[in-house]
């Protein structure tokens, strides 16, 4: 155990966060996301599991260590609802609020069509799967600089 690091952040996740550089992207997702399949295509190459944890709790913990990219218009991306691009799922506002609180300002979150999200996830640095039941609990966070 280390002082000042949220215990939700396991050693593998902290290691991956430390390896990431400016512009690298981290996917955080629910149990429905094809995380294992997509993780094989990422820079990290394997899935990071944070079982027993929901998305909001994980995002709050990650954001204590993770600077968001301020050089892009939308440093956070989420998956659109299939068949209704304007639909809002409860998890969207939960994560938006957690991100905004962590930055003390509103942060732009861009919606991506399902398969565009999967492609973006494949080119991410790493994928972190929570135990959140979802649905549509799929987000991409772009890392900035300190």
Q: What are the pLDDT digits (tens) for 55-91?
A: 999 999 999 999 999 999 999 999 999 999 999 999 9
pLDDT value at residue 83:
96
pLDDT value at residue 19:
98
Scanning the structure block, which residue is given the tokens 């609020």? Answer: 97
Catalytic residue numbers, as ranges: 22, 69, 118
Evaluate the CA torsion angle 62, 43, 12, 113 in order and state its sign.
Answer: positive
> Looking at the whole model, is its pTM more than 0.75?
yes
Q: The domain 23-142 belongs to what CATH superfamily?
A: RbsD-like domain (3.40.1650.10)
pLDDT value at residue 1:
66
Distance CA 99, CA 108 (A): 10
* Domains of the chain, residue spans: 23-142
Distance CA 146, CA 144 (A): 7
Q: What is the mean pLDDT of the chain?
A: 97
Q: What are the pLDDT digits (tens) for 24-60?
A: 999 999 999 999 999 999 999 999 999 999 999 999 9
Please state the φ and ψ torsions of residue 26, each to the nearest 5 degrees: -115, 125
Q: What are the pLDDT digits (tens) for 108-125?
A: 999 999 999 999 999 999
- Evaluate if residue 2 carries a pLDDT over 90: no
């Amino acid at each position: 155990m280390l002082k000042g690091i949220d215990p939700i952040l396991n050693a593998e996740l902290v290691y991956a966060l430390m390896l990431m550089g400016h512009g690298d992207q981290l996917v955080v997702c629910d149990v429905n996301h094809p995380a294992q399949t997509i993780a094989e295509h990422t820079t990290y190459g394997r899935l990071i599991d944070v079982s027993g944890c929901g998305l909001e709790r994980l995002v709050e913990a990650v954001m204590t260590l993770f600077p968001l990219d301020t050089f892009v218009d939308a440093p956070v991306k989420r998956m659109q609802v299939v068949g209704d691009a304007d639909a809002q799922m409860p998890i969207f506002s939960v994560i938006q609020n957690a991100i905004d609180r962590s930055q003390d300002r509103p942060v732009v979150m861009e919606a991506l069509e399902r398969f565009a999200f999967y492609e973006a996830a494949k080119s991410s640095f790493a994928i972190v799967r929570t135990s959140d039941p979802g649905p549509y609990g799929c987000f991409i966070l772009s890392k900035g600089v300190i």
